[in-house]
């Protein structure tokens, strides 16, 4: 992945010394089930990779990641916020497909880490840190939801490159944004090599038109929703397909969405199938939506 030259977010020393924490404190807002759509997608698309992963790649012991149980693949909930709900839920959901998965909740605000410690359990711990991802070895999954919205667009590529550099060879970084109760969500999936896909997910019953999701575009795309940019063209075409699929509304919003996405496949590289569209999702190749260079 080629990143534009831009400074990483500021670093600051850990309270007890040692390596610096990279990043800035976020608002920390969170709610139970806020990330259920992202988690559901991760389970469906990355569950097999988690099952294959015997554990993190590390030169030293991995015990500090999970003092409560045996080794297994490590998933990181980066920037979980003022309450630990999303990390607790991530562990439960990942273990439905990969029972040995361990989750590390990482937060840059020490007080939030202290508040989360009572929720530690078998396979779940909380650590103070930021984009340096303070876990031994290379995690199989890093989820960073609602973290980068407060940063400048020019900082995103550097953060992505840093996080992708921490992944296991078959690891996945999922970075995106959702509304406060998780009805609308857009995320980018990245491997060690860089961005792969963009997924749009919504509660169909509350959707007026697909372009309503524009306000939840991740930082790398939200300022590119203007004429001449690919993501703007995609949302325009999606709205047109949605309007053309209006007769299917009599069968429900799900059938209308499926028909609209099916029409999109004629002009856009949709990477998933109807089994995902039925969930109110559509995944498109990153290169089709990537910002125009220098725009």
In this prediction, residue 187 carries a pLDDT of 98
Q: Average pLDDT, stretch 115-126? A: 97
The yes-or-no verdict on residue 189 having pLDDT over 50 is yes
Domain boundaries, the chain: 20-192, 204-295
Q: Average pLDDT, stretch 89-109? A: 97
How far apart CA 268 and CA 288 sit, in angstroms, is 7
DSSP state for residue 87 in the 8-state scheme: H
- CATH code linked to domain 20-192: 3.40.50.150
Strand arrangement of the beta sheet that strand 74-78 belongs to: 124-128, 102-107, 74-78, 141-145, 172-178, 184-191, 194-202, 281-285
How many CB atoms within 10 Å of residue 267?
A: 12
Q: What is the pLDDT of residues 134-184, one digit of tens each?
A: 999 999 999 999 999 889 999 999 999 999 999 999 999 999 999 999 999
The yes-or-no verdict on residue 215 having pLDDT over 50 is yes
Q: Average pLDDT, stretch 202-225? A: 97
In this prediction, residue 22 carries a pLDDT of 85
Q: What is the pLDDT of residues 246-288, one digit of tens each?
A: 999 999 999 999 999 999 999 999 999 999 999 999 999 999 9
Q: Average pLDDT, stretch 113-127? A: 97
């Amino acid at each position: 992945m080629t990143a534009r030259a831009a400074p990483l977010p500021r670093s600051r020393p850990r309270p007890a010394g040692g390596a610096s924490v990279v990043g800035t404190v976020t608002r920390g807002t969170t709610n139970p089930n806020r990330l259920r759509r992202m988690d559901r997608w991760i389970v469906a698309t990355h569950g097999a990779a988690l099952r294959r992963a015997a554990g993190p790649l590390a030169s030293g012991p991995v015990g500090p990641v999970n003092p409560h149980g045996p080794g297994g693949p490590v998933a990181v909930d980066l920037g979980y916020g003022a309450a630990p709900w999303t990390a607790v839920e991530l562990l439960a959901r990942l273990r439905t497909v990969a029972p040995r998965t361990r989750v590390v909740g990482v937060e840059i605000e020490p007080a939030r880490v202290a508040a989360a410690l009572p929720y530690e359990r078998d396979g779940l711990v909380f650590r103070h840190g930021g984009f340096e991802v303070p876990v031994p070895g290379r995690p199989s999954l890093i989820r960073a939801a609602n973290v980068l919205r407060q940063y400048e667009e020019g900082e995103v590529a550097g953060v992505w490159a840093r996080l992708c550099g921490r992944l296991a060879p078959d690891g996945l970084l999922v970075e995106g944004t959702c509304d406060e109760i998780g009805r609308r969500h857009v995320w980018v999936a990245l491997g060690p090599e860089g961005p792969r896909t963009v997924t749009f997910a919504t509660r169909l019953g509350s959707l007026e038109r697909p372009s309503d999701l524009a306000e939840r575009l991740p930082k790398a795309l939200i300022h590119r929703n203007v004429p001449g940019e690919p993501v703007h063209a995609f949302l325009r075409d999606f709205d047109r397909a949605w309007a053309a699929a209006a007769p299917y509304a009599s069968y429900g919003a799900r059938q209308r969405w499926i028909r609209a996405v099916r029409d999109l496949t004629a002009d856009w590289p949709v990477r998933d199938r109807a089994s995902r569209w039925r969930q109110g999702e559509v995944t498109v190749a990153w290169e089709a939506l990537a910002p125009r260079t220098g725009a």
